[in-house]
A and B are shown apart, each in its own frame.
Chain A
Amino acid sequence: MKRFVILLVAVLFLGLTPLFSQIGIAEELAIATVNNPDMITMQKLSEEFTKDIGIKLSFIVLPENELRQKVTQDVALGAGKFDIVTIGTYDTPFWAANKWIVSLESYFKKMSVTELKEYNRDDFLSPVISALSLNGEQFAIPFYGESSMVFYRKDLFEKHGLTMPKAPTWEEIYQFAKVLHDPANNNYGIVLRGLPGWGQNMAVFGTMINAFGARWFDEKWHPQFDTQEMRNAFQFYKNIVTEVGEPGPTSVGFTEALALMSSGRTGMWYDATVAAGFLEGADSTVKGKVAYALAPSAKKENTGWLWAWSLAIESASKNKDAAFKFITWATSKNYIKLVGETLGWQQAPPGTRISTYENSSYQAAAPFATLTLDSMKNADYDKPTYDPVPYKGVQYVSIPEFQGLGEQVGQELAAYLSGTKDLESVIQACQKAALEVSKNGGYYKE
């Protein structure tokens, strides 16, 4: 009898434990995010969300490449390990097409009139929202956005009697760099990314491809590497980097370039607008000495890139309502205000809401605000090139295969910059790689 009672209690305990685990304990959301400063700030401040709403959060923070690999595996195989994923404007359209992430429209419809008014979807920058939508439905909410711009040392420009136009050309940048280049004193004319990778050197070079009138594919998805415009772009990049740029460019990515600029070792830098905040930070030796200009043009104007790290809800998530609560909290005006008042307005997530740029505290803390807003508003996401193309995206081609193609072209560019391959070999290798992507992906039209 005693044994029977013990057995009965054990069975009841095991059977009812899942029920007990649901009572009185908040949901927990698993969030996969990238390890940049704005996301780390979000992680720090997320305790406020848990205090207010009662939902626990578990963050998985990884570098960009590793995050994309882990999250792609998770969504593609339907594992559902994450509720919320941090993805970019590149991934969102085809993740949405693959039904790996859910449309947010139905969740927005569930918000009350007051909540919607408070949240104000119209406050978001329209090019960014457009890049995060498919067939008119929004699939991700931007957490922070960026374009690209030129950072230059106004003190050095003054010293050499140079004047930077608001919208310089690449030739002007080249000529300025020649004047500023002083390698004997460890100062370079310009620093540009050369580290191979579709998110590294190809982000910068991708905009140069567009500026020089080249394109990845024509309207029939025929590769366009074997063209004079593309050769001009490759040659110009090599000339500017090897003649007036930093040594060992293939070892210089965003982090190294930021270090060179913020330690005062270069006169100019063309890169992501988000770097402006770091250059005005306490650690920067060039704080107060940096001015800004729009992304350089050549044949084409408005060449600044468009990127936004955004929060989306996995289709396999079992906590979609809770996940929507978090992503709207993290992208609300109140969150931006929380960051501004807690950590300083300079650290407020840029490139998402118009109201951020209308905030006088933010304008005072961020002298680069106006130019960043102009860069993002002018970004030609839908028509990135001089001649028509069948794809969207400025510094990338918005097809799933671009990760592999961009990575390979980035390596070929690195080989060209380091002198291990000549231009013709690089062009032919890129042309062949692009043709394979076009044909195997079913894009190619005869």
Chain B
Amino acid sequence: MRGAIITMKSKSNSLLTLPAIVSVAVVTQVLFLATIFLSFIKWIVIRPDLGKSFAGIKNYVWIFKAPETYQIIGNTILITALSLTLCLILGFCFSLLLNRRFPLRKLCRMFVLIPFFMTPAVIGIIWKTLLLHPSFGITGYISQIYNSAPIDFFGQHAFISIIILIVWQWTPFFVLIILAGLQGVNPEMIESAQIDGASSIRILFQIKIPALRYHIQVATMLGMIFILKVFGLIYVTTRGGPGFTTTNLPYQVFKISYYKWDIGQAASYATLMVAMSLIIIMVMFNFIQKQIKRLEI
């Protein structure tokens, strides 16, 4: 009787969660399934005379035959990996500094966090026009003072410049998460370690970092998801160029959609992007889990 009641309660609990499950499934999966469907269609919006037809895997064959695809995939992975690494290191360093007591600490925290709350378009315009522009930017003015040729950041060093902007925008996100973790570290543990004669470096690697393992995991996973999708910064600054130098998968999907108007090819790139992102996230997740287990031993 009690078992039957429990079973009934479980079933009714499941039924109660069904509307939420259906809503989430519809909102998240319908568009993705539609994208996959469109990737098998030949549809060029600006050529209605060519009609829409079933293309099979032709769109995928095209994108894998195009040499720029490999450069774009490489850009996406490199931009994400380098930005993530720098964000993690800088975020950690800033968190350690902001965890100390010093005058105007709260004000410093606010300034460090500001970039995270700015929209990517604004960040791109400020960096491109006011800071790094060879003619109008501060760097151009400095090179004038020293009588040297201004540096063309977004022309000759576009890739590094994009990484700098991403790191500038996303480091505060890592600071937010890691600083919260640092503030939860038991100060008595650190005091005991200091009394036992442990150096700062040893305290950092053997007490603080292990204590922050879950925070680092969350920051890394979320940061990777956000950086993989970077679009606005690239659109406003380099537009994926020069050539394909700074084109990542999201920008390529946009370019194919709104300049070539080839919906099938754009959907193929979008599907590739989702598949690649899932693989990278899973690999990263397993790697981090192994590191956490190693720290726990």
Contacts and interface: CB of A to CB of B under 8 A. Distances in A.
Contact of B152 (A72, A197, A250, A407): A250
Contact of B243 (A65, A69, A414): A414
Nearest to A247: B134
A258 B54 CA distance: 48
A418 interface: yes
Contacts of A414: 155, 241-243
Interface string A156-169: 00000000000000
B258 A69 contact: yes
A88 interface: no
B149 A247 contact: yes
A248 B133 contact: yes
B154 interface: yes
B50 A442 contact: yes
Given A72-B261, A401-B46, A411 B154 contact: no
B45 interface: yes
A404 interface: yes
Nearest to B237: A251
B180 to A, nearest CB: 38
A421 B261 contact: no
Interface string B206-250: 000000000000000000000000000000000111111100000
A176 B171 CA distance: 49
A252 B188 CA distance: 58
Contact of B259 (A194, A249, A250, A403): A403
B135 A246 contact: yes
Interface in A56-89: 65, 69, 72-73, 76-77
Interface string B254-275: 0110111110000000000000
B200 interface: no
A417 interface: yes
Pick the most buried of B49, B255, B259: most chain A CB atoms within 10 A of its CB: B259
B134 A196 contact: no
Contacts of B259: 403-404, 407
Interface in B151-177: 152-156, 158
Given A248-B150, A404-B259, A417 B155 contact: yes
A97 B48 CA distance: 10
A73 B263 CA distance: 12
Nearest to A186: B144
Interface string B125-148: 000100001111000100010010
A124 interface: no
Interface residues of A, number: 43
B135 A404 contact: no
Given A72-B46, A418-B152, A248 B134 contact: yes
Contacts, number: 114
Grouping DSSP codes into helix (H, G, I), strand (E, B) and loop, the A interface class, with mixed when no group exceeds half, is helix
B241 A411 contact: yes
Pick the most buried of A403, A420, A421, A429: most chain B CB atoms within 10 A of its CB: A420
B47 A418 contact: no
A245 to B, nearest CB: 11
A153 interface: no
Interface in A404-446: 404, 407, 411-412, 414-415, 417-421, 429, 441-442
A69 B136 CA distance: 30
Nearest to A98: B48
A94 interface: yes
B45 A72 contact: yes
A265 B136 CA distance: 11
A411 B240 contact: yes
Pick the most buried of A69, A98, A404, A417: most chain B CB atoms within 10 A of its CB: A404
B242 A415 contact: yes
Interface in A361-398: none
A251 B239 contact: no
B139 to A, nearest CB: 10
A73 B258 CA distance: 9
A241 to B, nearest CB: 11
A256 B152 contact: no
A418 B242 contact: yes
A433 B176 CA distance: 45
A184 interface: yes
A97 B49 CA distance: 9
A401 B259 CA distance: 8
A65 B245 CA distance: 21
Pick the most buried of B128, B158, B241: most chain A CB atoms within 10 A of its CB: B241
B9 to A, nearest CB: 41
A104 interface: no
Pick the most buried of A98, A247, A429, A442: most chain B CB atoms within 10 A of its CB: A247
A344 to B, nearest CB: 28
A400 interface: yes
Contacts of A196: 239, 241-242
Contact of B155 (A97, A249, A256, A401): A249
A411 to B, nearest CB: 4
Interface string B18-53: 000000000000000000000000000111111000
Given A403-B259, A403-B260, A418-B156, A251 B128 contact: yes
A411 B152 contact: no
Contacts of A404: 255-256, 259-262
Given A259-B136, A418-B152, A184 B260 contact: no
Given A76-B48, A250-B155, A404-B259, A411 B135 contact: no
Contacts of B255: 404, 407
Interface in A247-272: 247-252, 256, 259-260, 265
Contact of A250 (B147, B154, B262): B154
Contacts of A400: 46-47, 261
Contact of A420 (B50, B128, B243): B243
Nearest to A69: B258
Contacts of A183: 149
Contacts of A73: 45
B50 A415 contact: no
14 contacts: A65-B258, A98-B48, A184-B147, A196-B242, A247-B135, A248-B134, A248-B154, A251-B128, A251-B154, A260-B135, A414-B155, A414-B242, A415-B241, A415-B243
Given A72-B261, A77-B45, 15 more contacts: A76-B45, A98-B46, A250-B152, A251-B133, A256-B133, A400-B46, A401-B260, A403-B46, A407-B259, A411-B242, A411-B244, A417-B155, A417-B242, A418-B156, A420-B243
- Which 8 A-B pairs give the minimum distances between C-beta atoms? A248-B134, A418-B155, A415-B243, A404-B260, A415-B242, A400-B46, A248-B152, A250-B155
Interface of B: 45-50, 128, 133-136, 140, 144, 147, 149-150, 152-156, 158, 239-245, 255-256, 258-262
